[in-house]
């Protein structure tokens, strides 16, 4: 655990720089001198805020105890959560025919960044599973592989979207 000097806002930049997944707390409406924790909790003064003791993010227990979240563990769990969502996003975007680069750009435009080293193996796996069809064509003097949902992929997308909506609704109730 890292500790920062008690200087207020300058600590925020130091905390944000240590873990790219850090999210600052939502500001309280009572003014700039108080903050509200990420999870609803009591108001804290800047001298007792997370900026002085944490390096990632925190929550406040009923006893006002600040508990750190390990950045490596968070990243591992975030990636696990994201993996299943990527399949759904790729299937949904391939209702229209696209080649790899335009698919990647469309997903990025939707806020889902994906490396080529993740996308192309996923496309090959989905095609092997019968969920996609592909075709090589020349466009703009280059050979490109175009992908589209197969009929089975269309049915799978509908089923997975229904399942995802159910899980999402349940999580919304819980969270």
* Tens of pLDDT, residues 49-59: 444 344 444 44
- 3, 43 in Cβ contact below 8 A? no
Vertex 165: Cα angle to 161 and 170 (nearest 5): 150
On the question of pLDDT at 94 being above 70, the answer is yes
On the question of pLDDT at 68 being above 50, the answer is yes
Query: Who wins on pLDDT, 64 or 7?
Result: 64
Name the residue among 95, 87, 93 with its Cα closest to residue 109.
Answer: 93
pLDDT of residue 36: 38
Q: How big is the chain by its Cα radius of gyration, in Å?
A: 22
Mean pLDDT, residues 23-30? 43
pLDDT of residue 30: 40
pLDDT of residue 47: 43
**85 in helix, strand or coil?**
helix
Name the residue among 43, 42, 55, 45 with its Cα closest to residue 11.
Answer: 55
Distance in angstroms (rounded) separating the CA atoms of residues 10 and 124: 47
Distance in angstroms (rounded) separating the CA atoms of residues 148 and 93: 9
Q: Please tell me the pTM assigned to this model.
A: 0.62
Mean pLDDT, residues 80-98? 94
On the question of pLDDT at 115 being above 90, the answer is yes
Alpha helices for 94-147 (secondary structure H)? 100-109, 116-128
Q: Measured between alpha carbons, how far is residue 61 from residues 24, 40, 46, 52 in Å?
A: 17, 10, 17, 17
């Amino acid at each position: 655990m890292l500790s920062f000097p008690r200087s207020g806002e300058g600590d925020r930049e130091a905390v944000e720089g240590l873990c790219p997944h850090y999210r600052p707390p939502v500001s309280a409406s009572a003014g700039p001198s108080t903050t509200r924790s990420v999870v609803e909790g009591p108001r804290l003064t800047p001298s007792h805020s997370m900026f002085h003791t944490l390096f990632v993010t925190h929550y406040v227990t009923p006893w006002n105890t600040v508990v750190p979240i390990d950045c490596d563990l968070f990243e591992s769990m975030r990636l696990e959560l994201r993996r299943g969502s990527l399949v759904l996003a790729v299937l949904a975007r391939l209702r229209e025919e696209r080649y790899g680069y335009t698919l990647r750009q469309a997903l990025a435009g939707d806020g889902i960044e994906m490396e080529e080293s993740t996308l192309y193996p996923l496309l090959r796996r989905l095609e092997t599973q019968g969920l996609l069809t592909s075709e090589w064509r020349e466009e703009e003097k280059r050979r490109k592989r175009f992908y589209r949902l197969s009929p089975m992929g269309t049915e799978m997308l509908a089923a997975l979207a229904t399942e995802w909506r159910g899980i999402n609704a349940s999580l919304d109730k819980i969270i």
